[in-house]
């Protein structure tokens, strides 16, 4: 019998709920992905590059043209000059970037601090590196960091703190002041930061994304991860990137070169072309997704679900305590899918110790207007 390295891990909730949605014919607002396509020019560029013979390995670190576009974006949005040669690495998805960053940082017996509810890939990655996760719950209802708990949790074995802003599943944002507090807490300690910023462009109501790339002190000890999948509506392309100071990037690349070596070549060419041609795409994303959030929330306003509009991401949490307080959120997500034809994600699965009082499910609003209208109609009838 094989001894499992991840004995407590099963199939992810995203696979489970998307399968249930497919089986039941429910509208799938569970797993986070758009039900519309990325820009025509971007998709056409892939065909062009495939036909032009860009089909062999890209450089291990990523296509230079794409790394240069990422550096240009970061300079213009966050005011940081990063060296595309030494600080930017293209990866096959943010998940792989997160995995490699964690392997680079965490060793046997080390501790990584994560904030619950947290994205499901962090803990298995830490465990495979020989470390353990210390789970600190974000405070409810705002999903904010409890600074006292964080200060108390930091100890001699703490090696890594994982941030995620905008935050999946809550949509909450960290602010500049949070980064200052974190920097002060870990100053003079051998602790690193992994900042998962895959929803960096999905911030609403005029808020600013508090990227670690804007923060001089934190950046010196950080890996910042993003995903082209979210930004260009092409989650299936599984292409992302990591930005980190040269010494950290060098360690990350030692691992990345043996996990995948490189990412898919024609996709990198297409993304580089599109970024050069349409730098405004990212600037238009907040308004594009805020309109979807507002449509979905306006339609839900007459329902028995309670909610505060998401500050970021393409996820909306909804409180169902007025509808089925008797059901835990896993049962509720199944009930919604099977009985009412709308699939959702329970948030308890992102906790080590789910808050007993919470009655929250997550809906993805990265959907066409007709999908959102149909889903909201079903939800409003419950
Ligand atoms: N981090 C978070 C918080 C996410 O929601 C996702 C979504 N897929 C990822 C990382 C992974 O991104 P990718 O699909 O590029 O691997
Ligand atoms: N990030 C996506 C979500 O939160 C899912 C990605 C996946 O299926 N692993 O829904």
Residue pLDDT, tens place only, 97-124: 999 999 999 999 999 999 999 999 999 9
DSSP 310: -
Q: Whose CA is nearest to atom 7 of ligand 2?
A: 14
Let me know if residue 7 belongs to a domain: no
Let me know if residue 5 belongs to a domain: no
Same domain, 217 and 97: yes
Distance 221 CA to ligand 2 centre (A): 27
Average pLDDT over residues 172-183: 98
Same domain, 176 and 296: no
pLDDT at 153: 98
Q: Whose CA is nearest to atom 1 of ligand 2?
A: 32
Summarised one tens digit per residue, pLDDT across range 314-338 is 999 999 999 999 999 999 999 999 9
Distance 155 CA to ligand 2 centre (A): 31
Distance 62 CA to ligand 2 centre (A): 24
Q: Is 373 a residue whose pLDDT tops 90? A: yes
Residues with CB under 6 A from ligand 2: 12, 14, 31-32, 168
Same domain, 312 and 206: no
DSSP string, 73-84: HHHHHH-----T
Q: Is 263 a residue whose pLDDT tops 90? A: yes
Same domain, 272 and 285: no
The average confidence (pLDDT) of the chain is: 97
Query: Is the pTM value of this prediction over 0.95?
Result: yes
Same domain, 287 and 161: no
Q: What percent of the chain is predicted at pLDDT more than 90?
A: 98
Same domain, 258 and 295: no
Q: Which atom number of ligand 1 is nearest to the Cα of residue 229?
A: 15
Summarised one tens digit per residue, pLDDT across range 267-281 is 999 999 999 999 999
Of the residues 244, 277, 310, which one is the last residue of a structural domain?
277
Q: Which atom number of ligand 2 is nearest to the Cα of residue 119?
A: 4
Distance 133 CA to ligand 2 centre (A): 20
Same domain, 178 and 226: yes
Let me know if residue 47 belongs to a domain: yes
Summarised one tens digit per residue, pLDDT across range 347-369 is 999 999 999 888 999 999 999 99
Dist. CA 70–CA 72, nearest whole Å: 5
Residues with CB under 6 A from ligand 1: 32, 93-95, 119, 164, 168, 196, 198, 227, 229, 235, 238, 240
| 3-state DSSP percent of the chain in helix, strand and coil, to 5 | 45, 15, 40
Distance 89 CA to ligand 2 centre (A): 22
> Is the Cβ–Cβ distance between 103 and 129 less than 8 Å?
yes
Summarised one tens digit per residue, pLDDT across range 9-32 is 999 999 999 999 999 999 999 999
261: confidence class by pLDDT, cuts 50, 70, 90: very high
Q: Which atom number of ligand 2 is nearest to the Cα of residue 345?
A: 10
pLDDT at 317: 98
- Residue environment code for 22-61, b if the CB has 16+ CB neighbours within 10 A, otherwise e: eeeebbbbbbbbbeeebeeebbebbeebeeeebeeebeeb
Please state the separation of Cα 361 from the chain's center in Å: 17
pLDDT at 357: 82
Kindly report the CATH number assigned to the domain that includes residue 357. 3.90.1150.10
Mutate to test the pocket of ligand 2, among 32, 92, 166, 225 (most ligand atoms within 8 A of CB): 32
Kindly report the CATH number assigned to the domain that includes residue 154. 3.40.640.10
DSSP string, 5-64: SSTT--S-HHHHHHHHHHHHT-EE-SS---SSPPPHHHHHHHHHHHHTT--SPPPTT--H
Summarised one tens digit per residue, pLDDT across range 126-145 is 999 999 999 999 999 999 99
Which residue range is the domain that position 270 belongs to?
A: 40-277
Same domain, 63 and 132: yes
Summarised one tens digit per residue, pLDDT across range 226-250 is 999 999 999 999 999 999 999 999 9
Summarised one tens digit per residue, pLDDT across range 188-202 is 999 999 999 999 999
How many residues does the structure list for the chain? 382
Let me know if residue 214 belongs to a domain: yes
Q: How far is CA 369 from CA 36, 233, 291, 295, in A?
A: 10, 15, 10, 8
pLDDT at 42: 98
């Amino acid at each position: 019998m094989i001894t499992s390295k991840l004995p407590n891990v099963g199939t992810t909730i995203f696979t489970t709920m998307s399968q249930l949605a497919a089986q039941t014919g429910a509208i799938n607002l569970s797993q986070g992905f758009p039900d519309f396509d990325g820009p025509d020019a971007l998709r056409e560029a892939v065909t062009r590059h495939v036909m032009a013979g860009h089909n062999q390995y890209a450089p291990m670190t990523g296509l230079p043209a794409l790394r240069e576009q990422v550096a240009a974006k970061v300079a213009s949005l966050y005011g940081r000059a990063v060296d595309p040669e030494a600080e930017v690495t293209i990866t096959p998805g943010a998940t792989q970037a997160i995995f490699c960053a964690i392997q680079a940082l965490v060793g046997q017996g080390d501790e990584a601090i994560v904030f619950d509810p947290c994205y499901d890939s962090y803990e298995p990655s830490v465990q495979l590196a020989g470390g353990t996760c210390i789970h600190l719950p974000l405070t409810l209802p705002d999903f904010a960091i409890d600074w006292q708990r964080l200060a108390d949790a930091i100890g001699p074995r703490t090696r890594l703190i994982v941030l995620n802003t905008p935050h999946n599943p809550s949509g909450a944002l960290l602010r500049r002041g949070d980064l200052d507090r974190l920097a002060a807490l870990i100053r003079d300690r051998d602790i690193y930061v992994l900042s998962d910023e895959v929803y960096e462009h999905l911030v609403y109501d005029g808020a600013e994304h508090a990227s670690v790339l804007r923060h001089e002190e934190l950046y010196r000890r950080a890996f910042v991860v993003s995903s082209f999948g979210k930004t260009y509506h092409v989650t299936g392309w599984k292409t992302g990137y990591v930005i980190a100071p040269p010494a950290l990037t060098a360690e990350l690349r030692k691992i990345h070169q043996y996990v995948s070596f490189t990412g898919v070549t024609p996709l990198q060419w297409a993304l580089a072309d599109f970024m050069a041609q349409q730098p405004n795409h990212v600037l238009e994303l907040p308004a594009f997704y805020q309109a979807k959030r507002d449509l979905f929330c306006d339609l839900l306003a007459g329902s028995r679900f309670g909610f505060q509009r998401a500050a970021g991401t393409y996820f909306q949490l909804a409180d169902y305590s007025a509808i089925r307080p008797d059901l835990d959120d896993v049962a509720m997500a199944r009930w919604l899918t099977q009985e009412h034809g709308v699939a959702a994600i329970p948030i308890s699965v992102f906790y080590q110790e789910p808050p007993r009082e919470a009655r929250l499910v997550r809906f993805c609003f990265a959907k066409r207007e007709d999908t959102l209208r149909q889903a909201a109609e079903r939800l409003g009838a419950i």
